[in-house]
Amino acid sequence: MTAQTRTPRKKQNAAARISPVTAAGRTVEDGERLIDFYRRMVLIRRFEERAARGYTQALIGGYCHLNLGEEAAVVGLLSALQPTDYLFTNYREHGYAITRGIDPNRVMAELYGRVDGVSKGWGGSMHMFDIDKRMLGGYGIVGGQIPLATGVALAIDYRGGHEVVLCTMGDGTTNIGAFHESLNIAALWNLPIVYVIINNGLGMGTTVEKSSAEPELYKRGSAYRMASERVDGLDPVAVAEAAGRAIDSARSGKPFLLEVVTERLRGHSVVDPAKYRSAEEVAELKENDPVQTFGARLVDEGLLDADSLAKIDEQATARVAEAAAFAEASAFPDVSTLFDYTYATPVPNDSRRLPGQPLFEPAPIPEQGAAR
């Protein structure tokens, strides 16, 4: 066996691993909720595949990190949030944006760097923001979002509000100082925040075991006397339930650390072929594919059949094709807007020069013998 890329899961087949929801005792609403989960997961899957295609077509630039393999985690987590709650994520965020209810057209347009993008083309893949949906940003610096999210929780507490902040991060982020400083502050001040570790086993190409002295990452909450839990991130129902417990805790003033163990089906970003993973591991990834396993489970339970699976897939494919068409038709931001977002409060002497422009208009040369 080659180096392990993750804290091992219990060896069992995928169907058995997922917590059972028996047909007996399940309401119609429950069934619809499960189908809705699946529909959202498929939309993320197709969206990310379309984004990868857009990247190879050079329609998308910069970095592009995909949520492939994390669909169940994303959908489960966000299903537990109220519309008034706040969401912070890192740079692997497209799925969060569309699942939070931001129009996929605007998310794709942001990837394309267009004016109709969710951040008007200023942010790109890593920096999606929508105040109406209370998604307060994807952030590109590992750990950078954690103190900010903690501060939003502080502001909620300051105003006596009942909202909660959900702040996601990768497994590698738990080794950075901002994580520890923030958890300490949140625990000291009883802030309404859930910190979520999306543990996909790899920080770029470095395994959790090689980077974290306590590889059971949820246990790090104990250093701050913070309640914590680990959940299987391939099961959206389990994630939703765990997120519900975590959010309830946070809303009552007890911050929570939730570790969601998931998979990263592809490389760190679209340009990473992930050659550091073994053939066995890649085979196992396929077996653990959360979209496939959840779909199969809904078929087993009689909620979906081959036709309805295909229909959901077609709908998702059509939706992302529409998003790509919208993005491609959207204009690039006008260069005249380049200086519009440096400062919110205009002040004198703000420098608004393009490269090569002089600081001053060339001054007339004083005449010989001019009075000093």
Q: Is residue 4 close enough to count as binding other proteins by CB under 8 A?
A: no
Backbone angles phi, psi at 276, to 5 degrees: -80, 0
Here the tokens at position 308 are 């309805």
Q: Show contacts with other proteins in window 70-129 (CB under 8 A).
A: 117, 119-123, 127, 129
Task: Show the binding pattern over residues 281-320: x = contacts other proteins (CB under 8 A), - = does not.
Answer: ----------------------------------------
Alpha-carbon dihedral sign for residues 127, 238, 257, 154: positive
Q: Is residue 146 close enough to count as binding other proteins by CB under 8 A?
A: yes
> CB atoms < 10 A from the CB of 269, how many?
17
Could you tell me the smallest distance in angstroms from the CB atom of residue 72 to other proteins? 28
Q: Is residue 246 close enough to count as binding other proteins by CB under 8 A?
A: no
Backbone angles phi, psi at 48, to 5 degrees: -70, -35
Residue from 1, 359, 368, 369 binding other proteins (CB under 8 A)? 359
Q: Is 21 buried (19+), middle (13-18) or exposed (0-12) by CB count in 10 A?
A: middle
Q: Is residue 64 close enough to count as binding other proteins by CB under 8 A?
A: no
CA–CA gap between residue 98 and residue 77 (Å, rounded): 13
Could you tell me the smallest distance in angstroms from the CB atom of residue 285 to other proteins? 33
Residue from 345, 354, 357, 369 binding other proteins (CB under 8 A)? 345
Q: Is residue 226 close enough to count as binding other proteins by CB under 8 A?
A: no
Per DSSP, helices labelled H in the chain are 14-17, 28-56, 71-79, 94-99, 104-111, 145-158, 177-189, 208-211, 236-251, 279-287, 290-300, 306-329
Could you tell me the smallest distance in angstroms from the CB atom of residue 369 to other proteins? 12
Q: Is residue 253 close enough to count as binding other proteins by CB under 8 A?
A: no
Could you tell me the smallest distance in angstroms from the CB atom of residue 189 to other proteins? 8
Residue from 3, 15, 23, 188 binding other proteins (CB under 8 A)? 188
Choose the stretch contacting other proteins; rule: CB under 8 A; options: 144-152, 203-211, 255-263, 308-316: 144-152
Residue among 321 and 338 whose Cβ is closer to other proteins: 338
Strand 256-261 and strand 193-199: the pairing is parallel
Choose the stretch contacting other proteins; rule: CB under 8 A; options: 17-25, 200-208, 312-320, 338-346: 338-346
Q: In what order do the strands lie in the sheet with 256-261?
A: 135-138, 86-89, 165-170, 193-199, 256-261, 227-232
CA–CA gap between residue 113 and residue 95 (Å, rounded): 18
> CB atoms < 10 A from the CB of 156, how many?
22
Residues 6+ apart with CB under 8 A from 279: none
CA–CA gap between residue 35 and residue 31 (Å, rounded): 6
Residue from 348, 355, 356, 369 binding other proteins (CB under 8 A)? 348
Residue from 59, 148, 274, 296 binding other proteins (CB under 8 A)? 148
> Residues interacting with other proteins, by CB under 8 A?
117, 119-123, 127, 129-131, 136-137, 139, 141, 144, 146-156, 158, 177-178, 181-182, 184-185, 188, 340-345, 347-351, 358-360, 363, 365-366, 372
